[in-house]
Amino acid sequence: MNAILEGRPGPLAGEHTVVLAGNPNVGKSVVFNGLTGMYVNVSNFPGTTVDVPRGKLNDRAMLRDTPGVYGLSGLSEEELVAEKTIMQGDVIINVVSALSLERDLFLTQQIIDFGKPVIVALNQMDEARARHIEIDVDRLSNTLGVPVIPCVAVLGEGIDAIKTRYGEARLGHPTPDSPPPQEVIRLEENPGERMKLYGLRRHYVNAVARSVASQKDTAQTHWAKRLSKKLGQWFLHPLVGIASMIAVLLALYQIVGVWVAGDVVDFTEGVIMLEHVVPFLQGLVSQAVPRDFWLYGVLAGEFGVLTMSIQYIYGVLFPLVLGFYIYISLLEDCGYLPRIAVLSDSLLSRVGLNGRAVIPLILGFGCVTMATVSTRVLTSQRERTIASTLLAITIPCSAQLAVIMGLMAVSGGLKAWFLYIGVLFVLMVGIGSVLNLILPGKSTPLVLDLPPMRVPSLKNVLRKTWVRTKAFINEAAPLFVLGSLIVSVLQVTGMLVNIQSWLSPVTMNLLHLPGETAQAFVMGMVRRDFGAAGLFGLQDVMTPVQMLTALVVITLFVPCIASATVFWKERGLKEATTILLGSWLLAFGAGAILCRLLELIPII
């Protein structure tokens, strides 16, 4: 320990904690995945709603991630968590982008000033070279007083060096004229003193960055920089920015929500799975278990563990997750994603969210399952809870929406359609506002770095897409198998039919609907569009008021099994079950009020 305190490399004896720190958009998550080999455990930091991923670095070291922050000022929940996690670490691996030394080294120097042993992972070196940015790595290391390891995390370059050399972490050179570490930590709590320290540190970091980095400003790079700056400004303009945001979000909906969720899934599920894979599996199971035996129904029946699990995981979830992550990785890599968040922040803050939530909410109209996964882009668990709840209850997916639009066209027309949209909008705003009031904590302010606009790197996009898709499928598959098992057992035991029978009196007495609509509600638990489609056979015996009531209830009702499974996975068993059960009460309560209002005031 004395060797480390003197600034020299020292061995780390016994078990120890290594902390990963860095600014947003520096590739920290890719470094984390590379160092841990995808072994990750995500939990809340005690007393907060902020996630802190943890994983094994080796047999003796636990690696703890931190939220991406620009400094440790304690101005937000993320910064408080990052500071506490860093102070508890034995070694800090600080991920720094080679593209933005002046920005990123401020956090590096602050950690050094706090008296923590540091090793710097200088990431995105390939992009720096592509932009003719030259960095004197040895000089940077000597100036900071800590080891600096160049890396390209998305390609795995430098990851092994970080794993083998993190024990060389040192106490770096403090900011000139700054007090000792303990005094720095105390002064950081005083706003006036903090600003003085920040001024010293910022002046010093700027000088360090200028001394170690240079860029060959060719005619091509000069033109590219000017274009990048102009595009960045245009995409934040009130008119051009909002128009471009609408276009990008519509493209997201069209590509992922319509094309992938529709055409691609129709092929992967409808052709590959239902015509080839599922019959093959059913044939294999039938060789060992008679088709009329209950075990065959559990394993290979309509909702069988083997058949439906594989059908949904690889026929539905895999193409959806893959398509979503390709699109999002492209938006991230070109620098556009933060600009969407900025433009939509003001509107979403009214329901306890910030601008980052615009992607999940728009995507929900394509596929709620995929949208629930995408809530991971939100910073805190509080915001993920609000966004996931809105997705699970108030937003119909594209498959369900298509059936609903067809039913509206022949039952109620345009008036019914506007009423349907109005009811869902009021409920969305109401639920979001209530959750914003009752959930502990506060929604995080939108603090984003706006990276320059650039041409996305195909290697980066494909690497990030594959890592994220593989991680999600590995995490979701076991839970989906469990969900399939539950549904198949309900079917072979007759409980699925019993649930329909139990719901019939509720639909008739509470909602004033035909008893047969109970079957549509139950089938909506399996697939949302199945539930809505079940109402087609009843349109001749239902009034426009009844049809509108049924469609509102079936939208607010629990999501399909795929969405529910992912919801349980993302939100945890207790929270997800509470919200899903609450959706039943809300669906039937809203339906009961709506049908009575429309019976008193015959609008349609």
Q: Provide the pLDDT confidence category of residue 319 given band limits of 50, 70 and 90.
A: confident
| Residues 300, 306 contacting (CB under 8 angstroms) | yes
More confident residue, 469 or 204: 204
Which residue type is seen at 199? G
* Alpha carbons 586 and 598: distance in angstroms, whole number: 18
The CA-based dihedral angle spanning residues 494, 497, 501, 504, taken in that order and rounded to the nearest 10 degrees: 160
- Return the pLDDT at 121: 97
More confident residue, 67 or 12: 67
Lowest model confidence (mean pLDDT) among 110-124, 409-423, 474-488, 547-561: 474-488
Q: What is the pLDDT averaged over residues 331-335?
A: 80
* Alpha carbons 137 and 118: distance in angstroms, whole number: 15
Lowest model confidence (mean pLDDT) among 152-166, 488-502, 571-585: 488-502
Q: Provide the pLDDT confidence category of residue 140 given band limits of 50, 70 and 90.
A: very high
Measured between its terminal Cα atoms, the distance across the chain in Å is 78
Lowest model confidence (mean pLDDT) among 197-206, 259-268, 476-485: 476-485
Closest C-alpha among 569, 566, 561 to residue 304: 561
Which of 164-168, 239-243, 571-575 tops mean pLDDT? 164-168
Look at the alpha carbons of 220, 226, 229, 233 in this order and tell me if their dihedral is positive or negative: negative
Is the pLDDT reported for residue 3 higher than 50?
no
* Alpha carbons 68 and 448: distance in angstroms, whole number: 10
* Alpha carbons 344 and 358: distance in angstroms, whole number: 7
- Please enumerate in sequence order all residues whose Cβ is within 8 A of that of 305, keeping only pairs 6 or more positions apart, or say none: 298, 299, 481, 484, 485, 488
Residue 21's SS3 state is: strand
* Alpha carbons 4 and 141: distance in angstroms, whole number: 16
The CA-based dihedral angle spanning residues 53, 465, 471, 366, taken in that order and rounded to the nearest 10 degrees: 100
Which of 377-381, 385-389, 395-399 tops mean pLDDT? 385-389
More confident residue, 497 or 223: 497
pLDDT for 276-312, tens place per residue? 999 999 999 999 989 889 899 889 987 788 888 888 8
| Residues 235, 339 contacting (CB under 8 angstroms) | yes
Dihedrals phi, psi of 21, to nearest 5 degrees: -135, 155
Q: Provide the pLDDT confidence category of residue 482 given band limits of 50, 70 and 90.
A: confident
- Please enumerate in sequence order all residues whose Cβ is within 8 A of that of 260, keeping only pairs 6 or more positions apart, or say none: 319, 320, 323, 324, 366
Task: Tell me which DSSP letter residue 543 carries.
Answer: -
- Return the pLDDT at 47: 43
Percentages helix, strand, coil for the chain, rounded to the nearest 5? 65, 10, 25
| Residues 255, 327 contacting (CB under 8 angstroms) | yes
Task: Tell me which DSSP letter residue 257 carries.
Answer: I
- Print the SS3 string covering 130-149: HCCEEECHHHHHHHHCCCEE
* Alpha carbons 46 and 193: distance in angstroms, whole number: 29
Structure tokens, 232: 């960045």
* Alpha carbons 603 and 345: distance in angstroms, whole number: 36
Sheet containing strand 91-97, strands side by side:
41-44, 51-56, 61-64, 16-22, 91-97, 118-123, 148-150
Dihedrals phi, psi of 135, to nearest 5 degrees: -125, 125
- Please enumerate in sequence order all residues whose Cβ is within 8 A of that of 1, keeping only pairs 6 or more positions apart, or say none: 10
Helices (H), 213-336: 219-234, 238-252, 265, 278-288, 294-300, 305-312, 318-334
- Return the pLDDT at 494: 82
Name residue 93's beta-bridge partners: 20, 119
What value does the mean pLDDT of the chain take?
A: 83
| Residues 327, 518 contacting (CB under 8 angstroms) | no
* Alpha carbons 468 and 462: distance in angstroms, whole number: 10
Closest C-alpha among 396, 393, 389, 392 to residue 438: 389
Can you give the pTM of this predicted structure? 0.63
Estimate to the nearest angstrom the gap between the alpha carbon of 352 and the chain centroid.
Answer: 17
| Residues 478, 357 contacting (CB under 8 angstroms) | no
Buried b (16+ CB within 10 A) or exposed e, 117-130: bbbbbbbbbbbbee
* Alpha carbons 494 and 500: distance in angstroms, whole number: 10
pLDDT for 515-545, tens place per residue? 888 878 877 777 776 677 778 778 778 899 9
Closest C-alpha among 369, 424, 425, 427 to residue 398: 369
Q: In which residue are the tokens 């015959």 written?
A: 602
Name residue 394's beta-bridge partners: none
How many residues does the structure list for the chain?
A: 604
Burial of 73 (0-12, 13-18, 19+ CB in 10 A): middle
Q: Provide the pLDDT confidence category of residue 49 given band limits of 50, 70 and 90.
A: very low
Buried b (16+ CB within 10 A) or exposed e, 237-246: eeeebeebbe
Element (DSSP H or E) covering residue 120: strand 118-123
Closest C-alpha among 404, 360, 326 to residue 563: 360
Is the pLDDT reported for residue 251 higher than 90?
no
Structure tokens, 203: 């002046």
